[in-house]
Each structure stands twice: as C-alpha cells, then as structure tokens.
Structure 1
Amino acid sequence: MSSVPHGYVDPNFPNPMGPNDATIIIYGYRPSLALAALAIALFFLALLAHLYLLLRHRTWYFSTMLVGTTMEVVGYVFRLLSSQQDPYSVPWFVVQYFFIVVAPVFFSAAIYTVVSVLINAYGREYAPLPPRAILGIFITCDVVATITQIAGAALIGVAYSNGEDPTTPNHILLAGLAFQVFTFAVFLVVLVWTLWRARRSSVNVSRTFLGALVVATLAVYLRTCFRLAETAQGLEHYLSTHEVFFGCLEFAPIVVSVYAFTYWHPGGWLGASLKGRTIGDADVLEDSGPGKLAP
C-alpha cells in the first residue's frame, strides 16, 4: 500500500508533522499570500470606514457591519498564517473557516435590518411580512445554518487529523449551506415583493441606494451559492482545490457587498425619508442627516 496521503501535499512546504497538523493541506492548495494580504487590507479599511459612518450617522442598527468586517480581518489573518507558516495546521484551517464563514451572517443581518427599516418607511401594507418577523425569522435561520456549517467544518478538521473519512461531516456542512441558500432565497422574494409594491408608496427613497441594496444582497447570495456548490461537489474536487474560485466567488462578492454599503451607507442615503422611523418600537435613526431622495 502506498504511504502517500490522499489529498494535496505541497512539495515546496514539508509537513511539520506537529500534533495539530493534518497529513495533507485541507484547503486543497497552499493559500495565496497575496489574496490574504489584500483581503486583510480591504476589510480593515472597510472596518474603519464603517466605524466612522456609524459614529457620524448614529445608525446603531447597522453596527453588525463592524462585527462582520472584524471577523473577515481575523479570518484572513489566520489564512495568511496558514500560507506562510503551516498550511497543514488543522486549528488554523478551522479558525479561518469559522471567521470567514460566519462574517457574512452579520452582513446579512445588516441587510435584513435595512429592509425592515424600509418597510416601516414605506408602510407595512407593502411587505408580505412585518419588520420584526423579518428580523426574527431570517436571523434565526442564519444562526441555525451557520452553527450547522461550523460543526461540519470542525468535524472535517477532526476527521483529517485522525485520518478518517470526512464524508459524513461534509454532509453536515452541506445541510447547513443548503438551508441557508433556501432561506436567503425566501428573503430575496420578500425584498423583491416589497420593492415592487412600494412603488405606490408616498415615501420616495433614492433609487441608487435601492440598487446598491439589491447588488449587495445578490453578492452575499452568490457567495452562499458558491459555498453550496463547492461542498456539494465534495472535498478534494475541482471547486475546492482551486483558489481562483474562492477568490472570485467568496472573497470578491463580500468585498462588493461591504463597499457598496460603505458608499451607499443607509445613514447618508436614507436620511430625511426615514428620520424618526422605527423597527417595531425601537428608534433606528437618531441623526440621519439631510438624506438623498430619488428624483
């Protein structure tokens, strides 16, 4: 029987064979230093920008963007460590996976909150669900899906560490992703329904802001669909063993979403049209500025 491990081993980076190292590189490749460094720089700049915008506009409901960008920075730091110090490390793989996978949940929460604010502004008769229901249902679904994914990823790491078959943990990960893709698709229906019917509302919100909201939402959904396709194809297959797909369909869509909300921040673009509106019973805009309305 061959002693060569099944999976990717970097011929230019000997396995340290430490107690926390797998026999192969679980990523399926040695992570790119350039991609990790670029991600750290972009998400750190976005973190600073969103912190400034949060304090300037006092849109506290949008603070989940800070959590998400912070998690992206941490995730890519560990990905960079994997690239340069030990790509075989199971803990570093699990940590970077946890932070990079969980971060978009906070961006989704920010999107859910913006849509809830819009529903209150337009009028609740224009949406299929009340604002509080949107927040409760979709955030809960994201939490359940994410916990399932993290459990699957952790079990995959354990399986590789012990030289066991990772198929069952991969199925757990797949179930979490499939559930997340389904629930986010339902949210897209709610968003389209609301924006279509709200054309008759007397509240006139900037069309460019609404366009940015849609683009950011679709970017997050594209990233989730990629993760589902990658996991469904299976470990050590084409999608999961070529970092170009990770860069184009995980990293890039999230950057688009984060920076869309950096320029089209709700504090500056919803402004006067939503001042004093609420989500349920809680004020969401204390100091929204002049706002920008559609012509």
Structure 2
Amino acid sequence: MSSERPIRGWVDPNFPNPMGPGDASIIIYGYTPSIVVGVLGCALFALAGVLHAWQLVKYRSWYFSTVMVGIAFEIVGYAFRCLSAKVNPYHVSYFVIQYFFIVVAPVFFAAAIYTVLSILISATGQHYAPLPPKWILWIFITCDVIATIVQIFGAALIGVASSNRKDPTTPNNILLAGLAFQAFTFLVFIGLFAVFMRRARKAMFKVVRKSFYMGFWAAVILIYLRVCFRLAETAEGLYGTLNTHEVYFGCMEFAPVVVAIWLLAIWHPGRCVPKSRAAVGDSI
C-alpha cells in the first residue's frame, strides 16, 4: 500500500494543476485567491504609502518610518497574491512569499504604534506611564520579532507539508503558538496604553486633540482584531471555515489593516503629536 496521504484540500476545477516543480497537489490557500483583493491591496497600500511618505518627510517624523516598511511588505504580499490568482494558485513559493510579507507587515505597524505611545508619554509626562518609554519599545518590539519568527517558521513548514502530502498539524501548531504569543503581548500593550490614558486623562488633551486619540485607538484595535482573526483561523485548522473562505481574509485581515493605515495617515503622529513637552504649544 502507498504511504502517501490521500489528497485533501481545495483543487480548482476551473484552474487545472500544472504539476510543475514547486507546485503543491492542492491550493494551500483553501480557495483560489481573488485578483480583485490582490489589486485592491496593492493600490490602497500604495496610495497610503504616498500619503505617509509625504507627511514623514514634511514633519520629519522619522520615528514613524517603520510604517513605510510595513506598507512596502503589504504591497509585495498582495502582488504575490495576484500571481497566485492569475498565474498559478498551486505554486508553493507564491503562497509562502505572500504569507511572509502579509504576516510580517503588521509587525512594523505595531513597532510604529509602540513608538507613538513612547512619544505621547514624553509629551504628556513620564510620571503618567506604567513603564518607561524605552522599556515599552524594547519589550514589545522584541516580543513581536519572536512571535513573527515562530509564525514564519510554522507557515513555511505548512507549505512543505502540503507540497509533500504530509500531515500539517504540527506546523500549524507552531504557527498557532506564535500567533497566541503575539495576541497576548499586544493585549498587554493595549492594557498599558489604557492605564496611561486613564492616568493622563486630564493632561493628554492639552497635548493632542481628542480626535487623534480616537483615530489612534481605532487603528490599534483594528490591528489587534487582525491578530485575533489569524489566531482563530489557525486554531480552527488548515481546512477550517476561516481558512478556506477568502471573504474572512478580506473582512478580517485585508480591511482592518487597510483602514488602520489610512487612519494613521489621516491623523499622522508627525502632524498631531509633539515630540516633547516643550513642543506642546506647537501641537495642533
């Protein structure tokens, strides 16, 4: 008897498998990716990137430059989803590359968010902060790097397992561990941010407008929502509902991150947040 596992997963009847080198026996996405989502991702992130770059230079807010790296990653990721959609959805490399760039991109957005909190603390008063600003940066950026490395390792192993018709349960559990760690640490950050806002509630609106805090909070929650979706998707398994229907990817991965990046462009910290208490009078 053959030791190979039976083929399980999505095979597009309208898109025959070319069975070339590097092609999996199934479409690892669980569906054939939509070219519309891929093109929209490239276009919306590119436009947001132009707006962010202009404000980055104009307001010399170099501390927020990691957003540009994240946007570039998103564009590359969605470009490879376009290749999967129109060229070959079975190709393992396309899947792994798009997954790598789309999963890693929010790490750079999170790093920018951590930096903004440290700037807000410096501008409002460090006595309001639950932790020193530098601690916040180092602790949470380090945690994000660790979580991302684990996720990418797990995703790569899933691609290899699917390509070789092996059981992807163990690689999926590795990916799940990375996502769970990321969700936990980001939740801790949200808690610290909430503590800071509660302590500084009388002083913070003298530093920046209330609309900035609302927009910034919304962006933070949207990024966290995306992390929670990835966690639920992975916990359900490679062949679960969330993993095999692109509508969930569009609504819970694509849309939240796009909206968050546009919110951060509209209420750009370089324009809205003074870099120190001495500059509070110049805040708008």
| Per-residue deviation, residues 79-127 of structure 1 (Å, max 9, x unmatched) | 0000000000001100000000000000001100000000111111111
Secondary structure of residue in 2 paired with 1:239: coil
Pick closer, same or farther for the CA change 1:237–1:61 going to 2, 3 Å: same
Q: Which amino acid aligns with 2:209?
A: S
| Per-residue deviation, residues 144-193 of structure 1 (Å, max 9, x unmatched) | 00000000000000111111111000000000000000000000000100
Pairing 1:61-76 to 2, within 5 Å after superposition: 61-76=63-78
Unaligned runs of 5+ in 2: none
How far apart are 1:275 and its partner, in Å?
Answer: 4.3
Any conservation in 1 of the 2:208–2:283 contact (CA below 8 Å)?
no
Indicate which of 230, 234, 245 corresponds to 1:231: 234
Q: Provide the residue aligned with 1:160 in structure 2.
A: 162
How far apart are 1:3 and its partner, in Å?
Answer: 9.5
How far apart are 1:201 and its partner, in Å?
Answer: 2.7
Indicate which of 94, 112, 115 corresponds to 1:113: 115
Indicate which of 147, 152, 155 corresponds to 2:149: 147
| Per-residue deviation, residues 2-50 of structure 1 (Å, max 9, x unmatched) | 9972110000000010110000000000000111111110001111111
Does residue 220 of structure 1 match 2:223? yes
Aligned length: 281
Indicate which of 237, 255, 259 corresponds to 1:256: 259
Whole-angstrom distance in 1 between the partners of 2:77 and 2:238: 20
Q: Which amino acid aligns with 1:80?
A: C
Q: Provide the residue aligned with 1:266 in structure 2.
A: 269
Pairing 1:95-134 to 2, within 5 Å after superposition: 95-134=97-136
Whole-angstrom distance in 1 between the partners of 2:139 and 2:276: 25
Whole-angstrom distance in 2 between the partners of 1:78 and 1:244: 18
Any conservation in 2 of the 1:76–1:100 contact (CA below 8 Å)?
yes
Any conservation in 1 of the 2:124–2:277 contact (CA below 8 Å)?
no
Secondary structure of residue in 1 paired with 2:200: helix
Q: Provide the residue aligned with 2:9 in structure 1.
A: 7
Any conservation in 2 of the 1:141–1:180 contact (CA below 8 Å)?
yes
Pick closer, same or farther for the CA change 1:3–1:164 going to 2, 3 Å: closer
Whole-angstrom distance in 2 between the partners of 1:180 and 1:275: 28
CA root-mean-square deviation: 1.9
How far apart are 1:204 and its partner, in Å?
Answer: 3.2
| Per-residue deviation, residues 120-140 of structure 1 (Å, max 9, x unmatched) | 111111111010000000000
Secondary structure of residue in 1 paired with 2:265: helix
Q: Which amino acid aligns with 1:291?
A: S
Any conservation in 2 of the 1:268–1:290 contact (CA below 8 Å)?
no
Whole-angstrom distance in 2 between the partners of 1:263 and 1:178: 31
Percent identity for Structure 1 against Structure 2: 58
Q: Which amino acid aligns with 1:120?
A: S
Q: Provide the residue aligned with 1:19 in structure 2.
A: 21
Q: Provide the residue aligned with 2:49 in structure 1.
A: 47
Moved over 4 A (4+): 1-4, 275-278
How far apart are 1:289 and its partner, in Å?
Answer: 10
